[in-house]
């Protein structure tokens, strides 16, 4: 059988390391390109049946046309999310496959890492002790034991976050349009409406997908309902939070702390090094000035296990498509 050729965009060193290792089993011919997939870089894919992209490669109609003209027929997303692809336009031109789940543990554990850091201020202690400042003034936290965590979205990731936090002895209230009552009973948690969750939670952690009805669910009016000093954690999607309202809540001290792995305008910045540049996004720049705001650059997924799963599922998706004409992880305009 002829070797499949894959054009791999937005390659980072870690992508290459994990895909090359798993590809020893498949033997595909992978060309790793550093640039993101854009109109200008799409010609690099000419002659490649498969194109592999990540979350910040925006696959527009123009790009789909270029890829199709160059002979591409399969778009393999190495991500779960697919809001970056125009599925309607891709229909009947490119088949699109993805990695539906790679490590819910990675994301849930990262959310808890953000909580612990913000609560016990270890990010500040690290800097202090390196400067021989051994004062603990201002570093006081709270026992998470017996406090209430509000979990928004109890899918794969939300459920693992709940299990971890139950281990700390936290009370859990949860909101999900499709509650899992058996899970609730087993873990002794309570499903409540979203307003009650806002009112009762000491820590609110977002684990739902972004849908048209929950854009900016954290905004000035929902923040007003929350407990004073609430901690907000977002490893879901940036647009779940109205960032300007969040900043106002932090400035007024209504919000005690915020841990953000995602940001609504992250596409221009996250995954790239701007340490020698001025940041032109004033909202992001303001966020980085608060000692009680911790930003990570969409790294919640970033574990060895998740990268292994991403590489395995992506290459298996490609093998199944070409060797067996099967598309178990397909997403398309008509089937979603």
Cα Dmax for the chain: 67
Per-residue contact track with ligand NAI, 248 to 267, x per CB under 6 A? -------------xx-----
207 is a site residue for ligand NAI (CB under 6 A): yes
298 is a site residue for ligand NAI (CB under 6 A): yes
Per-residue contact track with ligand NAI, 212 to 231, x per CB under 6 A? -xx-----------------
176 is a site residue for ligand NAI (CB under 6 A): yes
DSSP β-bridge partners for residue 148? 171
Among candidate residues 237, 264, 305, 326, the one labeled active-site is 237
Query: How far is the C-alpha of 261 from the C-alpha of 238, rounded, in Å?
Result: 8
Q: What is the DSSP string of 168-216?
A: TT-EEEEE-SS--HHHHHHHT-EE--HHHHHHH-SEEEE-S---TTTTT
Least separation in angstroms between CB 1 and ligand NAI: 33
Quick check: is 286 catalytic?
Answer: no
CA 320 to chain centre: 27
Least separation in angstroms between CB 303 and ligand NAI: 10
Least separation in angstroms between CB 87 and ligand NAI: 16
Residue 234's nearest CA partner among 101, 145, 107, 144 is 107
Least separation in angstroms between CB 267 and ligand NAI: 14
The structure tokens listed for 254 are: 């209504």
Quick check: is 40 catalytic?
Answer: no
Give the CB-side neighbour count of residue 80, counting CA atoms within 13 A: 16
Query: How far is the C-alpha of 229 from the C-alpha of 137, rounded, in Å?
Result: 18
Closest to ligand NAI by CB, 9 vs 301, is: 301
List binders of ligand NAI among 70-109 (CB under 6 A).
80-81, 101, 104, 107
Least separation in angstroms between CB 246 and ligand NAI: 17
Residue with tokens 């009552």: 181
Quick check: is 145 catalytic?
Answer: no
Give the β-pairing of 50-53 and 5-8: parallel
- In the complex, residue closest to ligand NAI by CB: 155
Give the β-pairing of 74-77 and 95-97: parallel
304 is a site residue for ligand NAI (CB under 6 A): no
* Per rule CB under 6 A, count of chain residues that contact ligand NAI: 30
Query: How far is the C-alpha of 66 from the C-alpha of 41, rounded, in Å?
Result: 10
Nearby residues of 53 by Cβ (< 8 Å), 6 or more positions away = 9, 10, 37, 59, 75, 76, 77, 78, 84
Binds ligand NAI (CB under 6 A): choice among 41, 50, 119, 154 = 154
DSSP β-bridge partners for residue 294? 259
The structure tokens listed for 110 are: 């990262």
Closest to ligand NAI by CB, 28 vs 54, is: 54
Least separation in angstroms between CB 271 and ligand NAI: 11
Closest to ligand NAI by CB, 18 vs 301, is: 301
Contacting positions for ligand NAI (CB under 6 A): 80-81, 101, 104, 107, 152-158, 175-178, 207-209, 211, 213-214, 235-237, 261-262, 298, 300-301
Query: So which residues are the catalytic ones?
Result: 237, 266, 298
């Amino acid at each position: 059988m002829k070797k499949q050729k894959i054009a791999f965009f937005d390659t980072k060193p870690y992508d290459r390391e994990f895909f090359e290792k798993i590809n020893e089993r498949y033997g595909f011919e992978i060309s790793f390109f550093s640039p993101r997939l854009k109109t200008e870089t799409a010609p690099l894919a000419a002659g490649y049946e498969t194109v592999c992209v990540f979350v910040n490669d925006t696959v527009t109609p123009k790009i789909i046309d270029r890829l199709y003209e160059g002979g591409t027929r399969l778009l393999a997303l190495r991500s779960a999310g697919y809001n970056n692809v125009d599925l309607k336009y891709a229909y009947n031109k490119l088949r699109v496959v993805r990695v539906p789940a790679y490590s819910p543990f990675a994301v849930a554990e990262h959310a808890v890492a953000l909580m612990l850091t913000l609560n016990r201020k270890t990010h500040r202690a690290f800097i202090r002790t390196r400067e021989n400042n051994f004062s603990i003034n201002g570093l006081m936290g709270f026992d998470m034991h017996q406090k209430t965590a509000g979990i928004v979205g109890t899918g794969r990731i939300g459920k693992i976050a709940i299990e971890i936090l139950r281990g700390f002895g936290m009370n859990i209230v949860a909101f999900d349009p499709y509650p899992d009552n058996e899970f609730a009973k087993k873990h002794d948690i309570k499903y409540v409406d979203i307003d009650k969750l806002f009112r009762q939670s000491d820590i609110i952690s977002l684990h739902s997908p972004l849908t048209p009805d929950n854009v900016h669910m954290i905004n000035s009016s929902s923040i007003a309902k929350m407990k004073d000093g609430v901690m907000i954690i977002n490893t879901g999607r940036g647009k779940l939070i109205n960032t300007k309202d969040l900043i106002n809540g932090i400035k007024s001290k209504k919000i005690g702390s915020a841990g953000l792995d995602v940001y609504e305008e992250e596409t221009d910045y996250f995954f790239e090094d701007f340490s020698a540049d001025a940041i032109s996004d004033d909202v992001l720049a303001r966020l980085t000035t608060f000692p009680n705001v911790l930003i990570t650059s969409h790294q919640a997924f970033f574990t060895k296990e998740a990268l292994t799963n991403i590489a395995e599922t992506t290459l298996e998706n490609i093998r199944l498509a070409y060797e067996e004409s099967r598309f178990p992880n397909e997403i398309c305009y008509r089937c979603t």
